[in-house]
Amino acid sequence: MAWKHPEDATLTMPINSLAMEILRDFEASSGWNRDNWIKVSQQRGTVQGRGMERALSEGWAWLISRGLVAWDPSQSSSNAYFITRPGHEALDQGVTHMDAAARLGMQLHASLAEVVERQFLMGEYELAVFAAMKAVEVRVREMAGLSNSLVGTKLMQVAFGPSEGGQLVDVDAEAGEQVATMELFKGAMGVFKNPSSHRPVDYTDATEAAEIVLLADLLMRILDRRTNASATA
């Protein structure tokens, strides 16, 4: 195998797409040496001139920086590379999944990390989203000391509602902010937790699923503030 994309397509291809095309070609050709792969692409492919050579070099740099390829210690050449486990995962599930997983590379709230990260990395986006929002729901119920019969949006309304005398209302916040916080938690439950409780929800967009998990992370941190405020009151 060799790089067969024309020059205009190569030079205008987004760097992540370019890199993944290189990775696919490297796998298909059972490649083991970066320089050898480039030389074959020069001899049998479309790689001619500095522009094409530099574009492929950029693609390789992208792959290396993200750990999709790594130096092969079983070979003496410094240009010997193999496709890593994350590299094979990216080939199987696509670069979008990899980029979305990178969004969760930051340290998630302790209440979420264990129940969410593994499911997300396995591509089980619906389960990851549901688990994240359910964890928020359970913590709100426990902090407010409310009955298990209260769930979803109603739970959030009772826990955060100023007119309900909610246990989690921030009494130091303005009235509008108190209501907005209640609506934030209600909206998260209504849009992202409740549907999965009643029917399958197909999250085909890994990035969307990652953003929902990060929303749950934010809600957990808001709850941390309420816990800290109660402790110092």
Q: Are residues 87 and 106 in the same domain?
A: no
226: pLDDT confidence band, cut at 50, 70 and 90?
Answer: confident
Across 43-144, the runs of DSSP E, i.e. the strands, are: 69-71, 81-83
The pLDDT tens digits for 48-70 are 999 999 999 999 999 999 899 99
Average pLDDT of the residues in 98-106: 65
Q: Are residues 46 and 153 in the same domain?
A: no
User: Is residue 230's pLDDT more than 70?
Assistant: no
Question: 3-class DSSP state for residue 33?
Answer: strand
Q: Which residues contact 112 (CB under 8 A, 6 or more apart)?
A: 131, 132, 135, 213, 216, 217, 220
Q: Are residues 169 and 104 in the same domain?
A: yes
Q: Are residues 108 and 84 in the same domain?
A: no
Is 53 within 8 Å of 93 (Cβ atoms)? no
Is residue 1 domain-resident? no
Average pLDDT of the residues in 197-224: 84
Over pLDDT 70: what percentage of the chain? 90
Q: Are residues 126 and 205 in the same domain?
A: yes
Please state the domain count of the chain: 2
Range of 134's domain?
A: 100-232
What is the structure's pLDDT at 114? Answer: 78
Q: Are residues 109 and 194 in the same domain?
A: yes
194: pLDDT confidence band, cut at 50, 70 and 90?
Answer: confident
Asked which of 56, 73, 93 is the last residue of a domain, the reply is 93
Give the range among 17-21, 43-47, 61-65, 111-115 with minimum mean pLDDT. 111-115
Q: Which amino acid is at 190?
A: G
Rounded Cα–Cα distance for residues 161 and 189 (Å): 15
Is 206 within 8 Å of 101 (Cβ atoms)? yes
Q: Which residues contact 182 (CB under 8 A, 6 or more apart)?
A: 156, 157, 160, 161, 162, 166, 169
Q: Which amino acid is at 95?
A: V
Q: Are residues 108 and 213 in the same domain?
A: yes
Q: Are residues 68 and 161 in the same domain?
A: no
What is the structure's pLDDT at 94? Answer: 78
Is residue 62 domain-resident? yes
Question: 3-class DSSP state for residue 136?
Answer: helix
The pLDDT tens digits for 121-156 are 777 888 889 999 999 999 999 999 999 999 999 999
Rounded Cα–Cα distance for residues 145 and 167 (Å): 8
User: Is residue 102's pLDDT more than 90?
Assistant: no
Q: ∠ CA(210), CA(215), CA(220), 5° rounding?
A: 125
Average pLDDT of the residues in 168-194: 94
Closest CA to 10 of 36, 49, 67: 49
Average pLDDT of the residues in 148-167: 93
Rounded Cα–Cα distance for residues 230 and 43 (Å): 70
Rounded Cα–Cα distance for residues 134 and 116 (Å): 11
User: Is residue 100's pLDDT more than 70?
Assistant: no
pTM listed for this prediction = 0.64
Higher pLDDT, 106 or 7: 7
Asked which of 40, 58, 93 is the last residue of a domain, the reply is 93
User: Is residue 103's pLDDT more than 70?
Assistant: no
